[in-house]
Structure 1
Amino acid sequence: MTEPDYDLCVAVNYYAPYVSGLTEVARVVAEGLAARGWRVAVVAARHDRALPLRETRNGVHVYRCPVLATIGRGMVSPSFTGTVRRVARRSRLLHLHLPMLEAGAITALPLPVPVVSTYHIDLWLPPSLVNRAATAAVKVSSALTLARSASVVVNSEDQARHSELWPKLAARPVVPIAAPCLDRDGGAPTRRETPGLHVGFLGRMVPDKGLEYLIEAFAGIPDPDARLLLGGDYATVAGGSVIDMVRAAAARDPRIRILGLLRGKEINDFYASIDVFALPSVAESFGIAQAEAMMCGIPSVTTDLPGGRYPVLATELGRIVPPRDPDALRAALLEVAGWDADVRAGGAKRARDEFGVAGCLDRYAALFTTLAPGLAH
């Protein structure tokens, strides 16, 4: 029998250098396993025409499929399904990142390799007729794919049990593996301007992050030395950003800082500059940035959403508030900002133990090798 070209084929719509929580999970797991000696291929749509169709990034072979059009967050890439199936046949295992519209077509005909699906979140899009149709189509595709998967990975049992697709998930072997989070400790407080409270948010500036509620909450803090640091991409996010609203708020309140997309050491310095992290989402499956903040000893205030609240529940380093409630958000931010160093250190240790990259890679590797024994490394 011919030896496969790859141990693992990863299929994901958006891949690096695009930045989102889902993309980061795919990237960190792919690159982490490649660093351990696995032969890994990633198939993605070419979201930016300036990117090459083929390249090797940090040991991972990346196949990008041309995009004919973009509709909201979705990309029309006719060759994507066929390319995933072709590369999967040359691999020992296929790893899909859902939700993905094409997943149902990818798995419609049997493949000669096991399929593992990581189900990140029920798709949430701003209300519109087109978005309702897209959400329904993705839900059907995800349901069909889950039924065809040998195993399903979720960020947490909390996320899975509250999913619209829980009946489909419950019918498959479900394995909770928290998203891999980088240890960002040791940065310099380069973004800190005053002795006042510094609140931070890091993530895509899109409608589902609920930034308007954070801005309203911060506006009710009267201290002129307080600062709200808003980091994250708004220029290249799929489906459009809320940067116009954020800029208007910053024009009204000179204490707000718009930092843009941060990478590498800039992220470490961001965490070193804040007293408390805020994740005011109206849709969220985990929140890698909040878990990384916790690993640095920064408490997080997040909304009471299945999956999104899990890092706070697991570490007790933060507070959970109702979505779309600026008053509750403000009160929690002020409370946790006063927590002492011992509380923060204890929460940081729990976060590192629970969410570190090495543990995540160990869990994925164990699952994959169980399903495809030839993967043993």
Structure 2
Amino acid sequence: MRIAMVSEHASPLAALGGVDAGGQNVYVARLSEELARRGHQVTVYTRRDSTGLPDRVPLPGGAVVEHVPAGPPEAVPKDDLLPYMADFGAHLARVWRRERPDVVHAHFWMSGLAAHLGARPHGIPVVQTFHALGTVKRRHQGWRDTSPPQRIGIERQIGQTSARVLATCSDEVRELDLMGVPAHQVSVVPCGVDAGHFRPGADGAPPPPRRARHRLLACGRLVRRKGYDQAVRALTKIPDTELVIAGGPAAAHLDRDQEARRLRHLAHRAGVADRVRMTGAVDPADMPALIGSADLVLCTPVYEPFGIVPLEAMACAVPVVATDVGGHRDSVADGVTGRLVPPEDPDAVAAAVRELSGRPRLRHRYGAAGRERVLAHYTWQRVADGVEDVHRQVLTGHTIPEEVA
């Protein structure tokens, strides 16, 4: 198949850890690479955000990234990109007039808008993965939600008129149903993890030396909704334990990062600053070793559309304490690979950590079960199996959807 991936802000070439660079970038990169290795012709279309970028860049496995001129060739926050999606879609329509893909797979709602604009003139089916839904973001962030006001309405139209919507977890299926997306248009295919890279005993730079008997690790993008403050508050009730927070800008720039400053201030006020260590950005090659140095990985967001970090921890055979939200409900098997706790409840986090910290055999059993669960359900090969199957189904039964405004 000729597969066009549209990922307007999340380039597979981007350095991870920034405000707008995280799990979606990894998903697009690894899925594209895996599909290309199977012999499909895969092109990823992403917005040109620098004048120095080449027009086309090859990815491992044979996929290609194409930079689309849409808006200024500079970094722009993703919530400010909507005005440029018409130009993005027009560019796709011109490119696909010359070489029509068999299927278009859009990632994120603005990519879906551009993909429909580009695909409609040529009758190309569009498969949509939202990665995050505006209804959920608005519910949890309220006035802090910086998404364009048109987002929820556009998402609803895209969901209802795409040939298929790929949900990454069962929680998203319920949200899509509330948006009026018919059940027959939704398939569930989770995100994945590189179980060869994230594995027990993986090499990498030596993790920082311990300051306490037990180590907790929280990692990912350094943004408020990830709930690192819940982990800091929980630490006040967990003795002999340190918390390592990995992510965000380089360590030398943490003092200029608003969320880093907030967390440091909180740790000082809570009296645990000597047990909280912020590493800043960590080289992806070193993440498995850092994860492996922890007794437990904490994933405490207020909400989480899917959540890659629990998979990375389980692949490294490290148990997870995660909030009972979003994709965590599918990936973390409570009482088998870790524990699920209520969101915004640092006491519950602390109780789960204290129990597991004192039971090394139970931690070992959870870790082994987590690794087995990843290998059975969450490798990129399994993800590509599901996506490939949906692409083929769409090609077999495709009808042109109604117009998306």
TM-score, length-scaled by structure 2? 0.80
CA-CA distance at 1:47 after TM superposition: 4.0
Measured at CA, do residues 264 and 220 of structure 1 come closer, stay the same or move farther in structure 2, by a change above 3 Å?
same
Residue 214 (structure 2) pairs with residue 193 (structure 1)? no
Matched-pair contact (CA < 8 Å) for 1:120–1:285:
yes
Matched-pair contact (CA < 8 Å) for 1:284–1:305:
yes
Measure the CA separation in 1 of the matches of 2:381 and 2:356. 29
Partner of 1:3: none
Measured at CA, do residues 106 and 368 of structure 1 come closer, stay the same or move farther in structure 2, by a change above 3 Å?
closer
Match for 2:283: what amino acid? R
Q: Size of the alignment, in residue pairs?
A: 359
Q: Which has the higher helix share?
A: 2
Partner of 1:228: 243
Matched-pair contact (CA < 8 Å) for 1:95–1:117:
yes
Helix, strand or coil for the counterpart of 1:158? helix
Measured at CA, do residues 177 and 315 of structure 1 come closer, stay the same or move farther in structure 2, by a change above 3 Å?
farther
Partner of 1:77: 84
Match for 1:94: what amino acid? V
Matched-pair contact (CA < 8 Å) for 1:12–1:44:
yes
Measured at CA, do residues 73 and 196 of structure 1 come closer, stay the same or move farther in structure 2, by a change above 3 Å?
farther
Matched-pair contact (CA < 8 Å) for 2:3–2:104:
yes
Q: Which of 152, 156, 159 in structure 1 is aligned with 2:172?
A: 159
CA-CA distance at 1:249 after TM superposition: 4.7
Deviation by residue 1:119-139 (Cα, 9 ceiling, x = unmatched): 32223264438726x1x4121
Matched-pair contact (CA < 8 Å) for 1:205–1:241:
no
Out of 53-62 and 119-128, give the one that drifted further: 119-128
Measured at CA, do residues 174 and 229 of structure 1 come closer, stay the same or move farther in structure 2, by a change above 3 Å?
same
Helix, strand or coil for the counterpart of 2:392? helix
Matched-pair contact (CA < 8 Å) for 2:2–2:40:
yes
CA-CA distance at 1:28 after TM superposition: 0.8
CA-CA distance at 1:172 after TM superposition: 4.0
Measured at CA, do residues 87 and 259 of structure 1 come closer, stay the same or move farther in structure 2, by a change above 3 Å?
farther
In angstroms, what is the RMSD of aligned CA positions?
2.8
Helix, strand or coil for the counterpart of 2:165? strand
Structure 1 unpaired stretches of 5+: 1-5
Measured at CA, do residues 86 and 258 of structure 1 come closer, stay the same or move farther in structure 2, by a change above 3 Å?
farther
Helix, strand or coil for the counterpart of 1:117? strand
Measure the CA separation in 2 of the matches of 1:325 and 1:37. 47
Q: Which of 334, 340, 347 in structure 2 is aligned with 1:320?
A: 340
Structure 2 unpaired stretches of 5+: 17-21, 397-405
Partner of 2:30: 28
Match for 1:30: what amino acid? S
Out of 13-22 and 145-154, give the one that drifted further: 13-22
CA-CA distance at 1:171 after TM superposition: 4.2
Deviation by residue 1:86-115 (Cα, 9 ceiling, x = unmatched): 4455211100112x2353354254542221
Match for 1:15: what amino acid? S
Partner of 1:94: 104
Residue 298 (structure 2) pairs with residue 270 (structure 1)? no
Partner of 1:178: 190
Measure the CA separation in 2 of the matches of 1:322 and 1:88. 47
Partner of 2:11: 15
